[in-house]
């Protein structure tokens, strides 16, 4: 099974360099076992956490080049796949990301695409579909699982109203202001006397309520709404 890259000649004929990110080792092993059998795909790294993926891809970028495509699990302990996607795309715009998750929800599809993902597939997808999503992303084409495409089409027919600050709790507003200042989850926890895990949960809830894909987008939203100042230290 061989498919061309983004063109003919030069580096485009090399295998598609793929990086696997999933907190379940058995899932990574399954994907690795199948993908390594394909002539046009080469696995260049793996990670079990979003933070690990961001660091690993940065290391690859300085030693042989970053991957062409990242298969990114969305739900992981620590940094989630949506935030990791946004960070990877910000640092390496040439890297394409295919989101992989166990379920489809409008908010998740929107958030993944807003963060920069080029594809959205389910973990129970057939192996051939995973390979097809990788190849499509490498060609610069969006690939959506049928269920994700239906959710996206539904949201376009019936768009949600612009999120309002009133949808956030008082605690979530406090967390959002700190996010806008660039505070990490640990720093937020220290400032508000809550655990780092609780801070992370608040950040996830804020992104979900506002329909945003990353902390950066949340910070910009807070500044736009006057909850924080771009000159805040």
**What pLDDT is attached to residue 55?**
95
Read off the pLDDT of residues 157-173 as tens digits, 9 standing for 90 and up: 555 555 555 678 889 88
**What pLDDT is attached to residue 161?**
54
Whether the pLDDT of residue 208 is over 80: the answer is no
Scanning the structure block, which residue is given the tokens 């990574």? 28
* φ/ψ bin of 193: left (φ > 0), alpha (ψ from -120 to 50), beta (otherwise): left
**What pLDDT is attached to residue 10?**
36
Whether the pLDDT of residue 148 is over 80: the answer is no
Read off the pLDDT of residues 10-30 as tens digits, 9 standing for 90 and up: 345 579 999 999 999 998 999
Mean pLDDT of the 92-118 span: 83
Lowest mean pLDDT among 44-48, 81-85, 107-111: 107-111
CA 232 to chain centre: 27
Q: Where are the domains of the chain?
A: 10-157, 165-224
> In this structure, which topology does domain 10-157 adopt according to CATH?
Rossmann fold (3.40.50)
Phi/psi of residue 221, each to 5°?
-65, -45
Higher pLDDT, 103 or 82: 82
Helix, strand counts (H, E) of the chain: 10, 6
Whether the pLDDT of residue 8 is over 50: the answer is no
Q: Which CATH number fits domain 165-224: 3.40.50.300, 1.10.10.10, 1.10.20.10, 1.20.1080.10?
A: 1.10.10.10
What's the whole-number average pLDDT of the chain? 82
**What pLDDT is attached to residue 144?**
84
Whether the pLDDT of residue 86 is over 60: the answer is yes
**What pLDDT is attached to residue 97?**
94
Torsion of CA 28, 29, 35, 36, to 10 degrees: 130
Report d(CA 225, CA 58) in Å as an integer: 33
């Amino acid at each position: 099974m061989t498919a061309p890259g983004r063109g003919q000649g030069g580096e485009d004929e090399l295998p598609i360099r793929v990086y696997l990110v999933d907190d379940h080792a058995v899932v990574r092993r399954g994907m690795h076992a199948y993908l390594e059998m394909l002539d046009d795909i080469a696995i260049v790294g793996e990670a079990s956490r979003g933070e690990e993926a961001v660091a690993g891809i940065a290391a690859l970028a300085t030693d042989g080049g970053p991957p062409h495509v990242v298969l990114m699990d969305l739900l992981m302990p620590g940094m989630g796949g949506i935030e990791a996607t946004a960070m990877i795309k910000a640092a390496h715009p040439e890297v394409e990301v295919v989101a992989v998750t166990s379920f489809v929800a409008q908010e998740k599809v929107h958030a993944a695409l807003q963060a920069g993902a080029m594809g959205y597939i389910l973990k129970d997808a057939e192996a051939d579909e995973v390979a097809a999503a990788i190849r499509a992303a490498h060609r610069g084409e969006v690939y959506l699982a049928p269920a994700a495409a239906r959710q996206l089409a539904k949201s376009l027919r019936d768009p949600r109203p612009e999120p309002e600050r009133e949808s956030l709790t008082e605690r979530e507003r406090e967390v959002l202001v700190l996010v806008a200042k660039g505070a990490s989850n640990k720093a937020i926890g220290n400032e508000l006397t809550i655990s780092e895990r609780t801070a992370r949960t608040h950040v996830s809830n804020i992104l979900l309520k506002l329909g945003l894909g990353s902390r950066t987008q949340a910070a910009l939203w807070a500044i736009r709404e006057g909850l924080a100042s771009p000159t805040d230290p």
